[in-house]
Amino acid sequence: MPTKSEKSLEDLFHDTLRDILYAEKKILKALPKMAKAAEAEDLRAGFEKHRDETEVHVERLQEVFELMGKRAQGKTCPGIDGILEEGEEIMEEFKGTSTLDAGLISAAQAVEHYEITRYGTLKRWAEELGMTDAVALLDQTLQEEAATDEALTAIADASANDRAKHAA
Ligand code: FE
Ligand code: FE
C-alpha cells in the first residue's frame, strides 16, 4: 500500500489544472458548432463571445502552468467529453425545431457549471498553496464562466423557453 503522504495538494492542483486545460480546449472547438446551430441571433452572438473568452481561458491556464514551472499539458477528462457528447446529441435530435435553442442553452449551461466547479476548486486550492498570482488568474475566468451562465439563463427566460413551449 502506498503511503497517504506521497501526493501533495500541489499534485492534486496540477492534476486538476491538466483536466480543465483539456476541457477548455475541447470547449473551444465545440462553441463555434453551437454558435452555428443556434437559431436566435442573441444566442449565436453569446456563443461567439464566449468562444473568444475561452481562448483567453486557455491562455490564463498556460500562465498558471508557467507559474508552477510545469509544461501546459492537458489530461483527458471523460466528464467534459460526456457533457459535450450530450450537447451534440441535442443538436442532432432537435435540429430545425423551435426547441433547439432551449436545448442548446441547457447543454451550454452544463458546460459552464462544470467549469465553475473546477475553477472554484482550483482557486480555493491556489489560495491554500499561497499562489497569489494564480488565484487572480483563476478568479478572472471563474467570473466569466458565472457571467456566461447568467447570460444563458437570461436568453432562456427572455425567449428560448417560450419558443420551445409553444412549439407544435
Ligand atoms: Fe472556460
Ligand atoms: Fe465557459
- In one-letter notation, the amino acid at residue 120 is G
Residue 39 lies in a domain: yes
Is pLDDT of 4 > 80?
Answer: no
Residue 4 lies in a domain: no
Residue 1 lies in a domain: no
Q: Whole-prediction pTM value? A: 0.94
Residue 2 lies in a domain: no
Pick the ligand that lies closest to the CA of residue 118.
1
Residue 89 lies in a domain: yes
Pick the ligand that lies closest to the CA of residue 21.
1
Residue 92 lies in a domain: yes
How many angstroms separate the CA atoms of 132 and 152, rounded?
A: 31
Report the pLDDT averaged over residues 102-111.
97
User: Which residues have a beta carbon within 5 Å of ligand 1, which is an ion?
Assistant: 54, 57, 115
Residue 132 lies in a domain: yes
Residues 68-102: tens digit of each pLDDT: 999 999 999 999 999 999 999 999 999 999 999 99
Q: Number of structural domains, the chain? A: 1
DSSP 85-129: HHHHHHHHHTTTSTTHHHHHHHHHHHHHHHHHHHHHHHHHHHHHT
Domain range for 104 is 9-165
Confidence band for 162, pLDDT divided at 50, 70 and 90: confident
Residue 3 lies in a domain: no
Pick the ligand that lies closest to the CA of residue 147.
2
State the CATH number of the domain containing residue 124: 1.20.1260.10
For residue 111, the CA-to-ligand 2 centroid distance in Å is 7
For residue 5, the CA-to-ligand 2 centroid distance in Å is 34
